[in-house]
Amino acid sequence: MDIKYLKGVGDKRAEAFNKIGINKLKDFLQFIPRTYVSRVTIEEARKKFGETVLVLGKVKWVEKGVKSNHPTTILLEDNTGTVEIPIFGASEFRAKQFLLNENYLFYGKVTEAFKGYNIRLDYRDHLRLNLVDEADKDFLKFNIFPIYELSGTLKATWIKPLMLSKIVFNAFRALIKLNPDLVEESIPESIIKEYDFIPRKKAILRINFPTQYEDIEIARRRLSFEELFYVQLLMALKRKSLQNEIKGIKFITDIKTLTENFTKITEFELTDAQKRVINEIYTDMKSDNIMNRLLQGDVGSGKTIVSIFGMLIALQSGYQSALMCPTEILAEQHFYTISKFIEKFNAAAGTDYKVSLLVGGQKKRLRETILQDIRLGNSNIIIGTHALIQESVEFKNLGFVIIDEQHKFGVMQRAKLKDKGLNPDVLVMTATPIPRTLSLTYYGDLDVSIIDELPKNRIPIKTFLRKEEDKDNIWEFVKEKINEGQQAFIIYPIIDESEKLDLKSAEENYVILKDKVFKEYKVGMVHGRMLWYEIEEAMNDFKSGKINVLVATTVIEVGIDIPNASIMIIEEAQRFGLSQLHQLRGRVGRGAEQSHCILIAKHLDEVSKKRLNTMCETNDGFKISEVDMEIRGPGEFFGTRQSGVLNFILTDLNRDRDILDSARKLAFEIIETDPQMRKPEHASIKKMMLSTYKDAMYLMNIA
Ligand code: ADP
Ligand code: MG
């Protein structure tokens, strides 16, 4: 059945549903309520002061506001009492909208409930019902109503919360008529028994239309298990296919000489954690398994040097290495440091390795030359941005792939770079520490290496939270530090680089800082809309000390390494995510001086205060990310790009660790004992996998 024939839908609304991916009746099964609201009698509502409720009754009186800004007041009555419902706005229309003595469902918050008086409802929505209509009667059998998230697309066609609830209800009703089973079971009977789960059909019905509140959690856990179980099954399959099927490159190097040369030219002693991780990478690379490794290490823990060692192993075995970064600034910086390192290495080892940079916006001639170098193998290490995964880029023999700040990339982009080589070893690096539950769910197919120790010469950064009014003092402090020879970043929030308003304010502030506040000093600026060579120039000036203050947006958020910069000022700090603030702060504290980070915040509510205070209390990225996840939830935490494929609707990883653990255990057991899922008891799982998770399997490259 076309959804446009569903009661309450029609052509226009059907179109809006299509836009959000609801094309068939069956697609309504994807809806999960955001919250629930109880239907009560008007007398019961009296005891629910401050709560949001639904009441059903007949409209007895409609009074238009005297002035246009006065509310239209509705009087609604059931057989227990009367409620007054003022509705603001559009009074002409409102006054005519309601028909006397007809039945309406009203949704709102109880704002007055004085004894002896009418109670009052703060209006949210309403719905007209026809009590002789079978569907409407069925709808009213439930006393707990689902409220769904309304996307903008739906709002645009005037679908309101109660209307949406009813449409979903009608869809379920129609589906059950067509097929009393509604859905196929997705997990084996034995597991349902073992974990005491309710059947899938019941869970889907109950989460949408619970008969009592306890139903909701029981249904949610059942569906959450399913969600996690299938993702873990994907992980297990991926692991298995990596282990068995395809063989990777066996890199062959004279490790002793390589280590000697490497140590000779490295200016510092590696930390124990760095040495351990290098060893883990080497062990993977010399075996013929395909390495798939996540390197996690807090900002400034020294991941780059570790990755360079891996690159050298590949180079020494005759393969190319590629390093992909999320921003041009970072690609530039890596190009600069790695080129210098390789120069020294060439001198020490008598090699002739060449490093190339590939970013967008390079001149055509230059670009052609670089592409040719990559294709012919004249370039050994290729560093770049997304430009690396364009079709025109062909490698001679890409053997080792590194993705820096990998949380900034999507699964697809990772896969694309990998596809440029022939089963290359892959190292993805991130400074966003990932709580254990998350790394198991999102990166369950990867091996994990952790650098859990900072270089010894580091002095912990001191962080302070200040108000707008303190700015003069802050600028004085910055000047003092500049006079001592230090350098400062001042960050303005352009979270989304396409935000014109933000850019304008950052640029205006830049002018004030340059011409007034710091007029005796040199001030530069970088933002994401500058061209790469303009950025390069500003960054080089800052690096070489020509500039004292660098005004910047979040383009410098990741990876930038300028040890002499020791002051980090972040304006409107409340607008940044915690992990982002931690990243930004990580730009300082890399040198021998005591570093300072000052967060300037406006309009602090309780949550912002808690977040920003966490920054002042700790430099530990892990703690910060746990707090971040608690406050924002895992979806937000990863941003849309990351969560694309593995989007959890029902799972709350803060609460559902136990479900995750059992789902993971079970999934890995199944794949271990029955990798092809041939056993009859696994048939339903396999079917589900091949239907619902086909795209994910493709993305994860599972054969
Ligand atoms: P991140 O892990 O954030 O990417 P980087 O690799 O950029 O960190 O390293 C940060 C800075 O620390 C660089 O200037 C690097 O040269 C330096 N560094 C790395 N390892 C050590 C070490 N063991 N001792 C001292 N300095 C180090
Ligand atoms: Mg880095």
Mean pLDDT check: name the lowest of 233-247, 340-354, 385-399, 507-521.
233-247
Helix, strand, coil share of the chain (percent; to 5): 50, 20, 35
Which run of H or E residues covers position 16? helix 10-19
Q: At residue 703, does pLDDT exceed 60?
A: no
Q: What is the mean pLDDT of residues 239-267?
A: 87
Q: Is the pLDDT of residue 492 over 50?
A: yes
What is the number of the ligand 1 atom nearest to the C-alpha of 337?
16
Give, in order, the Cα–Cα distances in Å from 54 to each of 103, 121, 138, 145: 13, 10, 16, 8
Which ligand 1 atom is the nearest neighbour of the CA of 304?
A: 6
pLDDT at 35: 87
What is the tens place of the pLDDT at every residue in 275-332? 999 999 999 999 988 898 989 888 889 999 999 999 999 999 999 999 999 888 889 8
Per-residue pLDDT tens digits for 511-527: 999 999 999 999 999 88
pLDDT confidence bin for 646, thresholds 50/70/90: very low
Q: Are 388 and 322 in contact (CB under 8 A)?
A: yes
Tokens describing residue 63: 């009074």
> What is the distance in A from the centroid of ligand 1 to the CA of 636?
29
What domains, with CATH codes, occur in the chain?
Answer: 3-178 (2.40.50.140), 255-286+302-430 (3.40.50.300), 462-618 (3.40.50.300)
Distance (Å, whole) CA 494 – CA 505:
9
Percent of the chain scoring above 90 in pLDDT:
51
Q: Which two tokens stand for residue 81?
A: 């009492």
Asked whether residue 347 carries a pLDDT value surpassing 80, the answer given is yes
Q: Are strands 549-552 and 523-526 parallel, antiparallel or unpaired?
A: parallel
Q: How confident is the model at residue 381 (pLDDT cuts 50, 70, 90)?
A: very high
Residue 408 Cα to ligand 1 middle (Å): 20
Ligand 1: residues within 6 Å at CB?
268, 270-271, 274, 297, 299-305, 431, 455, 457, 559, 561, 563, 590
Chain CA centroid to CA 102, Å: 47
421-456 pLDDT, tens digit each: 989 999 999 886 665 556 656 666 678 888 988 888
Q: What is the mean pLDDT of the chain?
A: 87
Average pLDDT over residues 27-32: 87
CA distances from 490 to 114, 161, 516, 549 (A): 55, 44, 15, 7
Q: Whose CA is nearest to atom 24 of ligand 1?
A: 455
Indicate which residue's Cα is closest to atom 16 of ligand 1. 302
pLDDT at 497 over 60: no
Rounded to whole angstroms, the Cα distance separating 53 from 38 reads: 5
Closest ligand, as measured to the CA of 583: 1
Taking phi over 0 as left and psi of -120 to 50 as alpha, with beta for the rest, 90 belongs to left
pLDDT at 504 (0 to 100): 75
**CA quadruple 22, 650, 153, 645: dihedral sign:** negative
pLDDT band for position 191 (50/70/90)?
confident
Q: Which atom of ligand 1 is nearest to the CA of 586?
A: 3
Q: What is the pLDDT of residue 399?
A: 97
Q: Pick from 202, 48, 696, 676: which is nearest to 410 by CA? A: 696
What per-residue confidence (pLDDT) applies to 636? 45
Cα–Cα dist 292/434, whole Å: 17
To which residue do tokens 């792939």 refer? Answer: 401
Tell how far the Cα of 638 is from the centroid of ligand 1, in angstroms. 25
Which has more confidence, 499 or 164?
164
Query: DSSP string covering 413-444, please?
Result: HHHHHHTTSSS-EEEEEESS---HHHHHHHST
CA of 526 to the centre of ligand 1 (A): 23
Q: Are 526 and 510 in contact (CB under 8 A)?
A: no
CA gap 60, 104 in Å, rounded:
11
pLDDT confidence of residue 201: 94
Q: What percent of the chain is predicted at pLDDT more than 70?
A: 91
pLDDT over 60 (residue 373): yes
Task: Assess whether pLDDT exceeds 50 at residue 638.
Answer: no
- Lowest-pLDDT range, 1-15, 120-134, 340-354? 1-15
Residue 4 vs residue 590, higher pLDDT: 4
Q: Model pTM?
A: 0.64
Which residue owns the Cα nearest ligand 1 atom 25? 455
pLDDT tens-digit map of 108-132? 999 987 877 889 999 999 999 999 9
Q: Tens digits of per-residue pLDDT, 656-689?
A: 778 888 888 899 899 889 988 888 888 888 888 8
Q: What is the pLDDT of residue 243?
A: 66
**Nearest-angstrom CA–CA distance, 190 and 390:** 48
Q: Residue 68 has which token pair?
A: 């246009």
- d(C-alpha 296, C-alpha 436), whole Å: 12
For 605-614, the pLDDT digits (tens) are 888 888 899 9
Q: Give the ligand with the smallest distance to the CA of 404.
A: 2
What was the pLDDT predicted at 627? Answer: 80
